[in-house]
Structure 1
Amino acid sequence: MTTAKRNTWQREAVREALGSSDGFISAQGLYSNLRDGGSPIGLATVYRALASLAVEGEADSLQSPEGEALYRACSTTGHHHHLICRNCGLTVEIEADAVEEWAQQVASANGFTEPQHVVDVFGLCRDCSAQARSAQASA
């Protein structure tokens, strides 16, 4: 039996701050933004609210290449994947039918059922790639 989460002022503050953030942000970054705005919210509360929002599908959650959990307000319902720029943080939600098929095949071949997975692809977006090429050419 699942219990509904109480919609406290702290949870609502985290939801609103997440919605006004551009791209993915860490719990620490969101906490800092809230505190800078005068909120008395605690860091542990921010972590709990973000984790809960992610579980309930109201927030996307991913792990950065450095291993830090990052969050953003979810703009798509259901299972999806991301392309994420390592430089500027631009994030694009993508369909990945080939990944879904691959995950199912690998799980099945190894006797697993009900596979779940997380796939986020990190790289450089078009603009950051152009800047990197320009910087290399002028070096």
Structure 2
Amino acid sequence: MPTRAYRDVPSSPASQFLIEDQYTRSVYQGILPNTGAANVSTVGKEQYLALIQEDPTVTMDTSTAGKTSIKFGKGSVTVSIGTAQIPTEIGKIDFEVLDAPTPFLLCLADMDRLKVYFNNTTDELVQGNVRIPVIRK
């Protein structure tokens, strides 16, 4: 009889998989590749503020406020408050900054532009010979 995964007892309590202070300005959580974000890379204001604590050279261009409107699921539309260009190992990425509790979300269009793909068998972003580990949280 096959084992049914949903009936197995977890080996670790679920609390070990929660991110403390998730998406606040206290801890920068990194950039998440997001197949659901097709055309625009976005970040919540709090995670932007967490990043600039680590890299004060990053700035937000507020002249682009209102350029982008994003709707997460069935929620209401959120309008961007500016754009931050983030230098990364795979190139510069423009993130629309939102007043919403979200991480840095790397969209498919930017992955295509940068010629990057996610290898889920090795948990890496791959760009030619460049390999960047992706940590599952």
- The two structures have a TM-score, normalised by structure 1, of 0.26
Larger Rg: 1
Structure 2 length-normalised TM: 0.26
Q: Which has more strand, going by share of residues?
A: 2
